[in-house]
């Protein structure tokens, strides 16, 4: 996996969902999609208030800024969580015999049906930060054959035997199985909020760290989030407890990492996926605008935003603690 998703830094296959210290009112990635989806001459709505060249450059600079932010956050997360992700089996290259994607498994035909359902449902799924995220998956290749898979690592009390990851959705357990590579049982859940909702969830303790609960979400909800915090990716609802503010999503084209620091009002989301690269003109803009001075200022801004966030520092401390040898 590393090669696939870490390699996609820079301006190319990086999907930006980043808002560091910015107002969450306007969804940043939605703005990005406006930029990306419209021809340059049509930006600004196409009415009499059409965008001036300056405004266009400002927006392009913002795109570049977010691209840089995304790249750097990705590097940070790769450093912080790389080892942990690999241990959890997210690193496809590390464990080729057991592919992460369920599409590669034996239930392919069934999954593909669910994929179609989930794609139909994308439009009304999230009101918040991930709506564009999911939509971009569907739009990238123009088909509805992808199933979104995301993982959440949640730290729990080791004595807690319940395989419950609270994410605001209603789940109905339909099976439990002890798998070969992990003595802990794996629980299978379906979304019980809507009968037609195709989303499934698998929850299993980490083989290495019994205090780590790994929830794997497959598919996307075709109904609004039942909780007040609608719009959040269930995987990203780190919420209470010591869960890591990091979720990893994998669709058939590649993984996505979401760093959710929404508690402070500034949602920091790093979304990196092996998406097709942005249009060539955007890459050109990336090269031109991402000057060293700009990058330096950006690094400072990001460092400030991240280090001032208690959730980030807490997650960092947890990750460091995990790396420390036990005495």
Partner DNA sequence: CGAGTTTGACCCGCGC
Partner DNA sequence: GCGCGGGTCAAACTCG
Number of residues in contact with DNA under rule CB under 7 A: 25
Q: Among the candidate windows 14-22, 169-177, 269-277, 293-301, which touches DNA by CB under 7 A?
A: 169-177
The smaller minimum CB distance to DNA, of residues 33 and 221, is found at 221
> Can you list the positions of beta strands (E) in the chain?
14-16, 149-155, 171-178, 185-191, 200-205, 212-218, 246-251, 254-259, 270-272
Site string for DNA, 23-42 (x = CB under 7 A): --------------------
175-214 residues near DNA, rule: CB under 7 A:
175-177, 179-181, 186-188, 192, 200, 202
64-123 residues near DNA, rule: CB under 7 A:
102, 105-111
CB of 239 to DNA, least distance (A): 19
Phi-psi region at 270: left, alpha or beta (left = phi > 0; alpha = psi -120 to 50): beta
Q: State the DSSP code for 188.
A: E
The smaller minimum CB distance to DNA, of residues 199 and 246, is found at 199
Q: Does 160 bind DNA (CB under 7 A)?
A: no
The smaller minimum CB distance to DNA, of residues 98 and 287, is found at 98
The smaller minimum CB distance to DNA, of residues 179 and 308, is found at 179
Cα dihedral sign for 231, 233, 236, 241? positive
Cβ(276)–Cβ(140) below 8 Å: yes
Residue 255: name the closest of 81, 33, 131 by CA. 81
What's the half-sphere exposure (Cβ side, CA atoms, 13 Å) at 16?
Answer: 30
The smaller minimum CB distance to DNA, of residues 35 and 214, is found at 214
CB of 96 to DNA, least distance (A): 9
CB of 226 to DNA, least distance (A): 12
The smaller minimum CB distance to DNA, of residues 170 and 304, is found at 170
Encode 298-319: b = buried (16+ Cβ within 10 Å), e = exposed.
beeebeebbeebebbeebbebb
Cβ(53)–Cβ(40) below 8 Å: no
Residues that bind DNA (CB under 7 A): 102, 105-111, 170-177, 179-181, 186-188, 192, 200, 202
């Amino acid at each position: 996996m590393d090669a696939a998703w870490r390699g996609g830094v820079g301006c190319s296959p990086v999907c930006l969902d980043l808002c560091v210290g910015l107002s969450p009112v306007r969804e940043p990635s939605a703005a990005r999609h406006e930029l990306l989806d419209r021809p340059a001459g049509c930006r600004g709505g196409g009415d009499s208030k059409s965008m001036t060249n300056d405004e266009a450059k400002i927006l392009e600079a913002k795109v570049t800024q977010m691209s840089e932010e995304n790249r750097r956050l990705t590097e940070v997360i790769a450093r912080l969580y790389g080892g942990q992700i690999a241990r959890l089996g997210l690193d496809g290259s590390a464990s080729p015999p057991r592919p992460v994607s369920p599409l590669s498994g034996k239930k392919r035909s069934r999954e593909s049906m669910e994929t179609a359902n989930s794609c139909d449902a994308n439009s009304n799924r999230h009101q918040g930060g991930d709506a564009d995220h999911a939509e971009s998956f569907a739009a990238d290749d123009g088909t509805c054959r992808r199933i979104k898979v995301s993982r959440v690592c949640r730290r729990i009390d080791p004595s807690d035997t319940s395989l419950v990851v609270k994410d605001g959705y209603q789940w109905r357990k339909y099976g439990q199985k002890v798998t070969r590579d992990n003595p802990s049982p794996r629980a299978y859940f379906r979304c019980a909020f809507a009968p037609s909702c195709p989303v499934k969830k698998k929850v299993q303790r980490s083989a290495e760290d019994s205090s780590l609960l790994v929830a794997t979400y497959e598919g996307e909800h075709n109904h609004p989030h039942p909780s007040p915090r609608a719009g959040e990716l269930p995987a990203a609802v780190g919420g209470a407890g010591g869960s890591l503010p990091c979720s990893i999503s994998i669709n058939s084209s590649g993984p996505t990492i979401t760093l959710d620091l929404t508690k402070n009002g500034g949602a920091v989301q790093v979304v990196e996926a092996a998406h097709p690269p942005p249009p060539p003109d955007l890459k050109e803009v990336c090269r031109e605008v991402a000057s060293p001075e700009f990058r330096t200022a950006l690094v400072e801004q990001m460092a400030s935003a991240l280090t001032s966030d208690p959730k980030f520092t807490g997650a960092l401390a947890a990750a460091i603690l995990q790396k420390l040898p036990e005495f």
